[in-house]
Amino acid sequence: MEPTRADARGNRARILEVAEDVFGRGGSAASTEEVARLAGVGIATVFRHFPTKRELVEAVLVKHFNRLCREARSLADAADPGRAFFDFFRRLVADAAGKLAIIEAFADAGGDAAGRASQGPRDLREAVGVLLGRAQDAGAVRTDVRLDEVYALIVGASRAAAHLRLDEPVRSRTLGIIFDGLAPR
C-alpha cells in the first residue's frame, strides 16, 4: 500500500505545482482540465485530491503564500538586512501578476477571504515587518516609516506592476524611486 500513497503524494504535489503556474498565468479563466493535462493525470485524479476548483485554487494560494513567507523568514538573519529587505520588496513586486491572478481565480471560484487562505497574507505581512525592522536597525531604511506605510507601497507597486504590465526597466526605476524615499535622510 505504501507505493500507492507515495504515488498519490507525488500526484498531489505535481497537481499543485502545475496549478500554481496555470492559475498564475490564466487567473479565473484557467481550468482544472488544463491542470490535469499538464500534470499528466486524469481529471478524476485532480478531483480526488481537490473535490472542487475552489479547493484546488485555495491550496495553490496557501502554497504560494507559504513559499513567500519561507523566503522572507530565510532572509531574516541575512548579513545585510538592508539588501535582504529591498531584494524581498523587489521579489514581491515581480511576483505580483501571478499572485493576483491566483487570488482572482480563488475569488471567482467562490473562495472565502476568511477561510484557510486568509492566514497567508497576515503571515507575509508579519515576515515583511521583521525584514523592515532589521533593515531599520541596520540603518538601511528610515526609522520614521512603519509597516503600514511600507506595506501600502508594496501593494501599490505590485498592483501597478501587474495591471500596467510594467517591463523590467520601468519596474526597476519605479522601485528605485520608492527605495530612495525609504532611505535614511
**In whole angstroms, what is the distance from residue 65 CA to residue 88 CA?**
14
Record the cell numbers describing residue 139, joined without a space. 540603518
**In whole angstroms, what is the distance from residue 20 CA to residue 184 CA?**
38
**In whole angstroms, what is the distance from residue 141 CA to residue 29 CA?**
40
- In whole angstroms, how far apart are CA 1 and each of 4, 5, 7, 141, 164? 5, 7, 10, 55, 51
**In whole angstroms, what is the distance from residue 111 CA to residue 59 CA?**
11
Per-residue pLDDT 10s for the chain (185 aa) are 344 577 778 889 999 999 999 999 999 899 999 999 999 999 999 999 999 999 999 999 999 999 999 999 999 999 999 999 999 999 999 988 888 889 889 989 988 766 777 888 899 999 999 999 999 999 999 999 999 999 999 999 999 998 888 889 999 999 999 999 999 98
What are the domain boundaries of the chain? 53-182
Helix, strand, coil percentages (3-state) for the chain, rounded to 5, are: 80, 0, 20
Pick the CATH number of 53-182 from 3.10.580.10, 1.10.357.10, 3.40.50.800, 1.10.569.10: 1.10.357.10
The single residue listed with the C-alpha cell 525609504 is: 182
Q: What global pTM score does this model have?
A: 0.87
Termini Cα distance of the chain: 64
